[in-house]
Amino acid sequence: MFDIDLTHYTEVVDKALALRPEIERAVDKICEEGYSNIFFIGCGGTYAHSLPMMYWLDSTSKKVEAYSVIAAEFMAMGHKKFSKDSVCVFSTRSGNTKEIVAAAKFCKDAGARTLVYVSNDDTPVCEYADYKFFSPAEDPNLCEAIYSYTITLLARFMKNAGEFDRYDLLVDGMAKLTPYLIRAKEQYDPICQELAKKFKDVDYHMIVGGGMLWGEAYDYAMCILEEMQWIKTKSIHACEFFHGTLELVEEDTHVMLFYGEDETRELMDRVYRFVTNVSKEVTVFDTKTVELPFDDAECRKILSPMVIYAMTERLSAHLAQERNHPLTVRRYYRQFDY
């Protein structure tokens, strides 16, 4: 495959998955001590990656209370559900994102417990981590590392609450996951190469997702196509598509549909029926086409965000090549103070 070191990819994902015992010990201790709620606190991609966790929790749990918040807004608003009994969950690649560092410090100073996944150790955010989980990762494989952490973490909280009897099935399957993610990349690589050639000069895309994949639709539009490729992109929730954005679909509008394996598939079908009647440029990424280490529907639903990211990373790599625009180039982001 183009522009990917599979040996390195395997090492990165396997090291992230190997954090499971540390995560379990931390969650078990917190549950023993008691807690009131969980806050997933992020910004940009790390906020987006928390949204599937909220969908999973909201559609599954009656006992575990959690919130997903944007770090800067959380600090500004003063969330009334936050207290010293809250558990605050952070993920960061750099470890020095200003909003994340400030929020982690605020939470720790308030007496709340902080859990931090970081892919660059000994960075500023580590100072404010009660529980630090480190494994090396970079942007092309960071998402797999973050989901390895958050899925295991949330599954453990629900297991301890007596709400997730599939825990062992899920984590045992995750331990075998890396080669399946590689096969998903191999399966979609030629498709993505052709898509990149076809759409390299297209200056506007729509990306639609729902349920467990709304966060990934949001992330791929903003953090990949907009930030890393400077392409105007609109992310649309499948349930909201018919409340405005549908009016912009034309015969040549490129619409990307992110299909997962949860309760919202039929809502994606509704979008698919509409856009294929109007546009000739519709692309479908469907996690159901990918083999995983188990057939259990609930476990496949839970892993769908990690799978869709593994698939679409191939499009990112080929777009960067076809457009002669490296994914690391920025005009404004982190280039100066703002």
What string of pLDDT tens digits covers the 338 residues of the chain? 999 999 999 999 999 999 999 999 999 999 999 999 999 999 999 999 999 999 999 999 999 999 999 999 999 999 999 999 999 999 999 999 999 999 999 999 999 999 999 999 999 999 999 999 999 999 999 999 999 999 999 999 999 999 999 999 999 999 999 999 999 999 999 999 999 999 999 999 999 999 999 999 999 999 999 999 999 999 999 999 999 999 999 999 999 999 999 999 999 999 999 999 999 999 999 999 999 999 999 999 999 999 999 999 999 999 999 999 999 999 998 898 88
Distances (CA, A) of 220 to 91, 206, 305, 334: 17, 11, 11, 19
Q: DSSP of 83-131, one letter per residue?
A: -TTEEEEEEESSS--HHHHHHHHHHHHTT-EEEEEESSSSSGGGGG-SE
pLDDT of residue 173: 98
**Mean per-residue pLDDT of the chain:** 97
pLDDT tens sequence across 138-197: 999 999 999 999 999 999 999 999 999 999 999 999 999 999 999 999 999 999 999 999
What is the Cα 315 distance to its own chain's centre?
16
Q: Which residue, among 300, 228, 288, has the nearest Cα to 258 in the 3D structure? A: 288
pLDDT value of residue 250: 98
Q: Say which amino acid occupies 123.
A: T
Query: What does DSSP assign to residue 289?
Result: G
Going by C-alpha positions, the residue among 171, 145, 153 that lies closest to residue 9 is 145
Q: Which tokens belong to 140?
A: 């092309």
pLDDT at residue 337, as a whole number: 85
What is the rounded (10 degree) CA torsion for 188, 16, 89, 138? -60
- Residue 165: CB atoms within 10 A of its CB come to 9
Helical pair 139-160 and 20-33, crossing angle rounded to 10 deg: 40
Closest CA to 90 of 117, 127, 61, 112: 117
pLDDT of residue 338: 83
Instruction: Classify residue 144 by burial, with Cβ atoms within 10 Å: 0-12, 13-18, 19+.
Output: buried
Cβ 259 vs Cβ 286: under 8 Å: yes
Cα distance between residue 73 and residue 96, in whole Å:
18
Q: Shortest CA distance to 268 belongs to which of 222, 204, 217?
A: 217
Cα distance between residue 6 and residue 2, in whole Å: 10
Nearest to 193 by CA among 315, 111, 275: 315
> Is the CB of residue 238 less than 8 Å from the CB of residue 265?
no
Task: Give per-residue pLDDT as tens, 103-155.
Answer: 999 999 999 999 999 999 999 999 999 999 999 999 999 999 999 999 999 99
Six-digit token pair at 99? 């909003």
> What pLDDT is stored for residue 298 in this prediction?
97
Report the length, in residues, of the chain. 338
The predicted model scores a pTM of 0.97
What pLDDT sits at residue 10?
98
Q: What is the DSSP letter of 258?
A: E
**Hey, what domains does the chain have and what are their CATH numbers?**
6-174 (3.40.50.10490), 178-322 (3.40.50.10490)
